[in-house]
Structures are given as structure tokens and as C-alpha cells.
């Protein structure tokens, strides 16, 4: 067993101000007292434990939030979601995580590599952690608290390493800690040397149990975190904001956390809902549709960017909430052998649908389409716009122009001949098209009309090749219907 | 081709301009042999912008691109047409051999949106060919398009109006298309890599306009057959 302990320093602060982008003095208060501060606040002279009024007198720009247990739990679950990518055995602590990585370190190229990737993942979701490795969960946790960065592989070395740690790392009750401190004990090593019966007589055998568990002499069972198969997380902005880059930054945090969870569950989503909450207005929903199941945060953030550029917000945004409920299982995929220059068919297909969504997010759904052929003799009915991917291959039917005019352009008559910027000379034809008698005149379909026409290939001014027709119905008008471009 | 007299030059340290070596990557064949010989690299410049300046339609300006588009449509991916001026005729494209379900049409009203759509199409790995119709575009936008296309290996083909021939452009190749003799497209190479072109090129696109090329055609003619001599007038 090898346990990796993550400890989030200033957890109340990290959990609440995950969305904060710029450096500003930040603090978290509980019962009118400060419980956590950032470096900027410390530099301005604010101290932990200070009363709220005093702190605000020292640093008027201080941004204070009330400690929220719920927000801390939610943030911890998001962090656990990131960690689940690296091992299925994740334990939640009050302000940290424990990961059993003996089985997966090899897969990720060693403990160092795994740690490096985990740190990047956590950072992209807005967390900063101190880490340590040890053969038992309790020892790992103590090391992370007191001397982060250490990695102890062997149980035999544990005793010497733990002996140097200060007493404050132990999870004993305040009464026992005070008792030990009053006895002049400062380090874990000194407590280790105390006789068992003496500790038991002073009602402090709990300390002994903790040390035995840390040294691996007593069992230390931990319940593993089980992630639900949905994602619903909310991030509050420090202050209501309008600007797209701040909103994007926050959305990015949420999407990264969501995609880590998806990747741990070998799942993807086809759509999700981003709710931009306002103080006085109902939330603005942004529905992201991906087309194909995906867990690529970059792809989603591109879509969010396009949506944000388009929508008008009724008011500044105070919080962002991401809901992704329908998870679809999505297996992993190997990288392409020859790199991105020659993308594999799978990758190409994914890129195709990504492009489609991106264009549609900005230009509108109807502005991006393909053309499908239809078995109809009327040229305007022989093709129609259709959903990309659903188009049918066209087939040729006689001489047809590359450009089709819709609707056909009425040509005026000069001396009884059709005129299009000059006299029009017919060079071949007619090709008679009589079709569509079954379509009534009152149909709403634009091409739902009977066609009785004689088509000609004609030459206009500057030898331009035109496709014109003459209507059978009186007054026998001439129309330009296509260009041989 | 330049037609200088073949008299030997008097001094060995003097070089003729058309002998100067131009380092340019091999182009994407246009499918028109006469044009390929005129273009440096022997085709559309890959990873570069090509401008096709024209005001006319109905002279074969789209047929010029057909061989490239037909070849691109053999591979999976979109053939993106951004803001075409009319509706493409699917039967005609199909009879030229193009796989029409791979044609993606993007409608965009403003120049900014068109340029944006073109850049997205170029940046994604999704397209095998990109054709755009742009008007009233400033140099900064063209420059950004050029940066986007340089990341790729395909040519970007841009249709612009003929009056933009007088303004500068970062495009590697600029062709002015106009009407020549009947059934002939006149090409003036305004700008290309290497020495400038002196004479216009006349491309006969009669083949690609007639249905005999490509797939066999089901004739549904009620009257005269296609291919009658152009001078004959048949006013009904």
C-alpha cells in the first residue's frame, strides 16, 4: 500500500474563492472572526483570529466571506473528482484527500509523474494542495501537514520519520493535546516513548491508537468516496461581474472539474447546462450541445466563448452553476501514430462535429447545413438543405448549372427576346420539364408548385452561360434559373 | 511564358530573371494543365491564400475549382463553402464527381462573421477544402486569414470582387477571372511567387461544362440535344 495525502492549506479560503482570478486581499470569517487569510491580506497586516471589524479597519479592501460547510463539502467532492482519475480509492478528509496509489503509480509513470499530473488537474479546477506519501494513510496525512513533499516507501523507516513531527499533527482531542503539552512533550517521537499503561491511566490511550495506526500496527479502515454519475456544481463569484473573460475563467474551472469526473467514470456528455445566476433576475441558461459524447473541456469552453459573445446579460453574474446529468459511457482512445498531420478517421469525425457546433453556436442553427439530393424533376425540388450527415448523394439529370438562383429571376423582354444585361441567345434546348401537378398551388412548401417549363442553355452578355426557362402558363414569361459558373 | 529572344547574354555573371530559382513547395494540382505550368509549384499554393477576383458569373469560375474539390471530396471531412452568392447546384456537382454530402454550406451575413467562419474551418482538422466569398475586407482581416491558413497544408480559395485588384493583399496568388472567347475563361495572374506573369491565360472549360465528363448522364431532353453550335439561335 502506498497512500498519497493531499492537504489543502487554508481550506475555507480555497473552497470559497476557487473562482477568484485576480490577487486581492481575501478572508473567510466564522462568527465575526477571521478563520483563513490569503497572503495579500497577511501582508496588509490582517491576522487570523482577528475580529471582523478590526480586520476591516486595517484593510478596508478586504473581501470577506462567511465560512460555509456546504461549499467546502462541494469543493472537496470536486477535488475528489479530479483525484478519481488517478485511483478509484479516494478518501475524503475534512480539508484534504487520501489516495491509495500503489496500484496506479506504475500506470502513470511513477509517483512523481502521477503527482505532477494530479497537481496540474487540481490547479485547473482551482485547488492548491500540499502532498506526502507513506505506507499508511495516517502517516501520509501527518507528513503532508508537517513536512510536505516527503515520500516514505518503507514501513521500517516510518518510525524515525514520524518521530520528528510536531505534536499538532495528531488528530487527538484538544484535552489530550493540552495534557501532553503541559507534560513538556513537543514531538510525536516523545509521545511514542511513553509507556502504554501510563497513557491509559491518564485516559489518553487514544494517542497510542493513533500512533499504532500511523505505524501500521493497527488496522485503519477508511470508507472510499463514491462519485455519483451526475455533475452539479456551483461557483460563486467574489463580486457580480459582467466581463466575458471572468465568466469564462469560472466556467473553465467548472468544466475542468466536470471533465475530470467524467474521465474517471469513463463517461462523456452530449449536452450540459450552464446557469448564469443573477442577484435580481432569474438565471440565464446556456445550453451546450456537443453533437458527439465528449469529455474534452477545451471543446466545451470554445462553445461557451461563442455563446457568451452572442447573449445579452440582463445583469451582472453573481454565480455560475454547471449541471451535467446524462452521462454516456465513452471508452478511451489511442493517440494517432503519425500525429495530428494525418488525423485518424475517428479524430476527423470528431473534428467535423466540433466545427459544426462551433459555427452553429455563433451563426445560428440554420446557417450551417449540407445539401441533399431528391428524386424530383423540378430543379428547385431536386435538392434541399438538410442536417449535416443526413444528406443523400446527388445524381446528374441532364445538363445542370453549378449555381441555382432562388427564386428564379424574371427576365424582361426586348423585341420579344429575353434580355439579361443584354440580348440572350439560346444555344441549346428546349428541355421540357413538366412535373409536380400533384402539388397544389396553396402549398406552403416553396417548391410545392406545378412546373410546366421549357429550359434552354443560353449565352448572355460577355458569353456568360445561363440556364433560362420559359413558362408554359400565359403570359409565357422568361426566367433565369441558373448560371453555368 | 516570357518570350525573350534566346540570344546568349554577353556576361556570365548576368542572370535572366526567369532562370532564378524560386524555393516554393509543390502545389496542389489544379486539374488544368495549362494553369499548372504557370503556377509556381505546379498548382494552388498549399498553406497559402489564393484570391480569385471576379465580377462575372457564368464563365466557368466555379468549374476552375471543380477538379480540386472533386479530389478533396474523396477524403472524409467537410468541403466548406463560406457565404456562396447562390445555391450550389447539387446535380451538376454530382455529375462532376463531387461527393455532395461532404459539402458544408455556411451562411454568414457580415464580413467579420465570414472571416471568422473561414478561420474556424481552417483551424479545425475537419476540412479538406475551404472556399470563401469575401467582400469589403480590410488587410488586417486578410492577414489573420493568412496566418490561419499557414497552419494548414491546404489552399484557401477566396472569391473577391474585381475592383479589389487595385488594393494590396497578402495572398500568395492572385488571379483575375474574366470572360474570354465563348466557353473560355480568361485568367490574368496578378501576383504569384517568382517572376510576374506577362500574358493572360485562356482556359477552355467547355469539358467541365458539358455533361459528358464525370458520371454517365441520363438524358431527359425533350427537344434538341446539348452541344449544339453556339452560334445557332433557337428562339422558341
- The CA distance from B116 to B129, in Å, is 16
| Cell (9 digits) for A479 | 426566367
Q: How confident is the model at residue B19 (pLDDT cuts 50, 70, 90)?
A: low
> What pLDDT was estimated at residue B10?
60
Could you give the count of Cα atoms lying within 13 Å of A373 in the half-sphere of its Cβ?
21
pLDDT in tens, B80-103: 999 999 999 898 888 888 888 899
Q: Which of A351, A395, A400 sits opposite B125 (nearest CB)?
A: A351
Q: Percent of chain A, pLDDT > 70?
A: 94
B22 contacts: CB under 8 Å, gap ≥ 6: B40, B193, B194
Q: Which range is least confidently modeled, A168-172, A420-424, B4-8?
A: B4-8
Q: How confident is the model at residue B219 (pLDDT cuts 50, 70, 90)?
A: very low
Answer whether A17's CB lies under 8 Å from A26's CB.
yes
Residue with cell 489543502: A8
> What pLDDT was estimated at residue B229?
38
Q: How confident is the model at residue A444 (pLDDT cuts 50, 70, 90)?
A: low
Residue A192 has pLDDT above 70, yes or no: yes
Q: Is residue B213 within 8 angstroms of chain A, CB to CB?
A: no
Average pLDDT, chain B: 78
pLDDT in tens, A137-163: 999 999 999 989 889 988 888 899 999
In B, minimum Cα distance to A351 occurs at B126
Q: Which residues pair with A419 in a beta bridge?
A: A412, A423
CA–CA–CA angle B143, B148, B152 (5° rounding): 135
Q: How confident is the model at residue A243 (pLDDT cuts 50, 70, 90)?
A: confident
Q: Is residue B115 within 8 angstroms of chain A, CB to CB?
A: no
| Cell (9 digits) for A470 | 420559359
> What pLDDT was estimated at residue B218?
34
Gap from B78 CA to chain A (nearest CA, Å): 7
Q: Are residues A428 and B215, on separate chains, in Cβ contact within 8 Å?
A: no
> What pLDDT was estimated at residue A336?
62
pLDDT in tens, A358-388: 888 888 888 999 998 888 888 888 888 888 8
Residue A432 has pLDDT above 50, yes or no: yes
- Please list every residue in chain B whose beta carbon sits closer than 8 Å to the beta carbon of residue A457: 226
Q: Is residue B3 within 8 angstroms of chain A, CB to CB?
A: no
Q: Is residue B162 within 8 angstroms of chain A, CB to CB?
A: no
Per-residue 3-state assignment (H helix, E strand, C coil) for chain B: CCCCCCCCCCCCCCCCHHHCCCCCCCCECCCCHHHHHHCCCCCECCCCEEEEECCCCCCCCCCCCHHHHHHHCCCCCEEEEECCCCEECHHHHHHCCCCHHHEEEECCCCHHHHHHHHHHHHHCCCEEEEEEECCCCCHHHHHHHHHHHHCCCCCEEEEECHHHHHCCCCCCEEEEEEECCCCEEEEEEEECCCCCCCCCEEEECHHHHCCCCCCCCCCCCCCCCCCCCCCCCCCC
**Does pTM surpass 0.80?**
no
> What pLDDT was estimated at residue A130?
93
Q: Which residues pair with A26 in a beta bridge?
A: A63
Q: Which range is least confidently modeled, A15-24, A338-347, B48-57?
A: A338-347
Q: Please state the ipTM of this predicted complex.
A: 0.78
- The CA distance from A452 to A434, in Å, is 5
Q: Are residues A394 and B116, on separate chains, in Cβ contact within 8 Å?
A: no
Residue A325 has pLDDT above 70, yes or no: yes
Q: How confident is the model at residue A446 (pLDDT cuts 50, 70, 90)?
A: low
Gap from B140 CA to chain A (nearest CA, Å): 21
- The CA distance from A482 to A408, in Å, is 8
Q: Is residue B204 within 8 angstroms of chain A, CB to CB?
A: no
Most confident of A243-257, A425-439, A440-454: A243-257
A303 contacts: CB under 8 Å, gap ≥ 6: A288, A290, A357, A358, A361
Q: How confident is the model at residue A100 (pLDDT cuts 50, 70, 90)?
A: very high
pLDDT in tens, B140-175: 889 889 988 988 888 899 999 988 888 888 888 999
Average pLDDT, chain A: 86
Q: Is residue A373 within 8 angstroms of chain B, CB to CB?
A: yes
Q: How confident is the model at residue A117 (pLDDT cuts 50, 70, 90)?
A: very high
- The CA distance from A398 to A401, in Å, is 10
- The CA distance from A308 to B126, in Å, is 24
> What pLDDT was estimated at residue B231?
37
> What pLDDT was estimated at residue A3?
93
> What pLDDT was estimated at residue B81?
94
In A, minimum Cα distance to B127 occurs at A352
Residue A463 gets the label, from left (phi > 0), alpha (psi -120 to 50) or beta, of left
Between the CA of residue A87 and those of A3, A76, A103, A224, what are the distances in Å? 11, 16, 8, 11
- The CA distance from A95 to A281, in Å, is 34
Answer whether A126's CB lies under 8 Å from A18's CB.
yes
- The CA distance from A405 to A401, in Å, is 10
Q: How confident is the model at residue B213 (pLDDT cuts 50, 70, 90)?
A: very low
> What mean pLDDT comes out for the span A45-58?
89
Q: Are residues B86 and A405, on separate chains, in Cβ contact within 8 Å?
A: yes
What is the DSSP annotation of A338-387? TGGGS--HHHHHHHHHHHHHHHHHHH-GGGEEEEEE-S-SSTTTSEEEE-
Q: Which residues pair with A268 in a beta bridge?
A: A328
Residue A424 has pLDDT above 80, yes or no: yes
- Please list every residue in chain A whose beta carbon sits closer than 8 Å to the beta carbon of residue B107: 363, 366-368
> What mean pLDDT comes out for the span A86-99?
91
Q: How confident is the model at residue A278 (pLDDT cuts 50, 70, 90)?
A: very high
Residue with the bigger pLDDT between A370 and B25: it is A370
B145 contacts: CB under 8 Å, gap ≥ 6: B49, B115, B118, B119, B122, B156, B158
Q: Are residues A463 and B60, on separate chains, in Cβ contact within 8 Å?
A: no
> What pLDDT was estimated at residue A285?
92
Pick the closest to residue B49 from B138, B124, B152, B120 (CA basis): B152
Q: Is the CA virtual torsion A252, A256, A257, A261 positive or negative?
A: positive
Residue with the bigger pLDDT between A56 and B220: it is A56
Q: Percent of chain B, pLDDT > 90?
A: 18
Residue with the bigger pLDDT between A22 and B126: it is B126
Q: Are residues A431 and B223, on separate chains, in Cβ contact within 8 Å?
A: yes
**Helix H or strand E encompassing A454:** strand A451-459
Answer whether A312's CB lies under 8 Å from A291's CB.
no
> What mean pLDDT comes out for the span A342-355?
79
Amino acid at each position: 500500500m502506498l497512500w498519497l495525502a493531499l492537504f489543502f492549506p487554508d481550506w475555507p479560503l480555497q473552497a470559497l474563492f476557487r473562482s477568484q482570478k485576480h490577487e486581492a486581499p481575501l478572508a473567510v470569517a466564522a462568527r465575526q472572526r477571521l478563520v483563513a487569510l490569503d497572503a495579500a491580506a497577511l501582508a496588509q497586516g490582517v491576522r487570523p483570529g482577528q475580529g471582523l471589524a478590526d480586520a476591516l479597519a486595517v484593510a478596508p479592501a478586504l473581501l470577506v466571506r462567511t465560512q460555509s460547510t456546504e461549499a467546502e463539502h462541494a469543493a472537496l467532492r470536486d477535488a475528489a473528482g479530479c483525484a478519481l482519475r488517478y485511483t478509484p480509492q479516494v478518501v475524503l478528509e475534512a480539508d484534504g484527500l487520501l489516495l491509495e496509489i500503489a496500484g496506479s503509480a506504475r500506470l502513470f509513470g511513477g509517483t512523481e509523474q502521477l503527482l505532477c499530473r494530479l497537481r496540474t488537474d487540481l490547479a485547473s479546477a482551482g485547488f492548491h494542495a500540499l502532498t506526502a506519501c507513506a505506507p499508511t494513510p495516517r502517516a501520509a496525512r501527518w507528513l503532508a501537514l508537517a513536512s510536505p513533499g516527503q515520500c516514505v516507501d518503507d514501513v521500517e523507516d516510518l518510525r524515525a520519520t514520524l518521530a520528528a513531527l510536531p505534536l499538532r499533527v495528531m488528530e487527538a482531542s484538544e484535552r489530550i493535546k493540552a495534557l501532553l503539552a503541559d507534560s513538556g512533550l513537543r514531538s510525536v517521537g516523545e509521545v511514542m516513548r511513553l509507556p502504554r499503561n501510563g497513557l491509559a491511566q491518564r485516559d489518553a490511550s487514544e494517542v497510542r491508537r493513533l500512533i499504532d495506526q500511523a505505524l501500521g500496527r493497527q488496522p485503519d479502515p477508511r470508507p472510499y468516496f463514491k462519485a455519483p454519475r451526475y455533475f452539479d456544481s456551483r461557483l460563486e463569484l467574489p463580486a457580480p461581474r459582467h466581463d466575458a473573460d471572468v465568466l469564462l475563467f469560472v466556467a473553465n474551472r467548472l468544466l475542468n472539474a466536470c471533465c475530470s469526473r467524467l474521465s474517471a467514470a469513463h463517461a462523456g456528455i452530449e449536452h450540459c447546462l450552464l446557469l448564469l445566476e443573477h442577484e435580481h433576475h432569474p438565471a440565464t441558461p446556456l445550453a451546450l450541445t456537443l453533437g458527439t459524447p465528449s469529455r474534452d473541456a477545451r471543446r466545451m469552453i470554445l462553445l461557451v466563448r461563442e455563446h457568451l459573445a452572442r447573449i445579452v446579460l440582463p445583469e451582472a453574474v453573481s454565480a455560475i452553476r454547471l449541471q451535467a446529468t446524462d452521462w454516456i459511457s465513452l471508452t478511451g482512445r489511442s493517440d494517432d501514430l503519425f500525429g495530428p498531420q494525418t488525423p485518424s478517421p475517428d479524430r476527423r469525425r470528431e473534428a467535423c462535429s466540433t466545427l459544426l457546433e462551433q459555427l452553429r453556436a455563433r451563426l445560428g442553427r440554420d446557417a450551417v447545413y449540407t445539401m441533399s439530393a431528391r428524386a424530383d424533376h423540378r430543379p428547385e425540388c431536386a435538392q434541399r438543405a438538410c442536417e449535416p450527415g443526413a444528406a443523400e448523394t446527388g445524381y446528374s439529370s441532364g445538363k445542370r448549372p453549378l449555381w441555382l438562383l432562388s427564386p428564379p429571376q424574371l427576365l424582361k423582354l426586348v423585341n420579344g427576346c429575353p434580355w439579361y444585361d443584354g440580348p440572350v441567345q439560346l444555344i441549346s434546348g428546349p428541355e421540357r420539364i413538366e412535373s409536380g401537378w400533384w402539388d397544389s398551388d396553396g402549398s406552403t412548401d416553396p417548391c410545392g408548385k406545378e412546373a410546366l417549363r421549357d429550359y434552354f442553355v443560353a449565352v448572355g452578355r460577355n458569353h456568360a452561360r445561363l440556364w433560362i426557362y420559359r413558362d408554359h402558363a400565359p403570359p409565357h414569361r422568361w426566367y433565369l434559373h441558373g448560371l453555368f459558373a | 511564358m516570357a518570350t525573350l529572344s534566346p540570344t546568349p547574354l554577353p556576361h556570365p555573371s548576368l542572370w535572366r530573371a526567369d532562370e532564378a530559382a524560386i524555393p516554393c513547395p509543390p502545389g496542389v494540382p489544379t486539374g488544368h494543365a495549362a494553369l499548372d505550368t504557370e503556377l509556381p509549384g505546379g498548382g494552388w499554393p498549399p498553406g497559402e491564400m489564393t484570391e480569385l477576383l471576379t465580377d462575372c458569373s457564368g464563365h466557368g469560375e466555379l468549374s476552375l475549382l471543380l477538379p480540386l474539390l472533386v479530389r478533396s471530396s474523396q477524403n472524409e471531412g467537410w468541403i466548406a463553402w463560406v457565404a456562396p452568392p447562390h445555391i450550389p447546384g447539387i446535380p451538376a456537382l454530382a455529375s462532376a464527381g463531387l461527393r455532395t454530402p461532404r459539402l458544408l454550406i455556411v451562411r454568414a451575413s457580415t464580413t467579420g462573421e465570414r472571416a471568422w467562419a473561414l478561420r474556424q474551418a481552417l483551424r479545425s482538422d475537419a476540412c479538406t477544402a475551404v472556399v470563401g466569398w469575401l467582400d469589403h475586407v480590410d488587410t488586417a482581416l486578410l492577414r489573420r486569414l493568412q496566418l490561419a491558413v499557414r497552419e494548414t497544408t491546404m489552399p484557401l480559395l477566396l472569391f473577391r470582387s474585381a475592383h479589389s485588384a487595385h488594393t494590396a493583399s497578402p495572398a500568395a496568388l492572385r488571379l483575375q477571372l474574366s470572360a474570354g472567347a465563348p466557353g473560355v475563361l480568361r485568367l490574368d495572374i496578378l501576383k504569384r511567387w517568382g517572376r510576374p506573369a506577362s500574358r493572360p491565360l485562356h482556359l477552355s472549360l467547355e469539358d467541365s461544362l458539358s455533361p459528358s465528363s464525370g458520371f454517365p448522364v441520363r438524358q431527359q431532353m425533350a427537344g434538341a440535344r446539348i452541344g449544339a453550335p453556339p452560334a445557332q439561335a433557337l428562339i422558341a
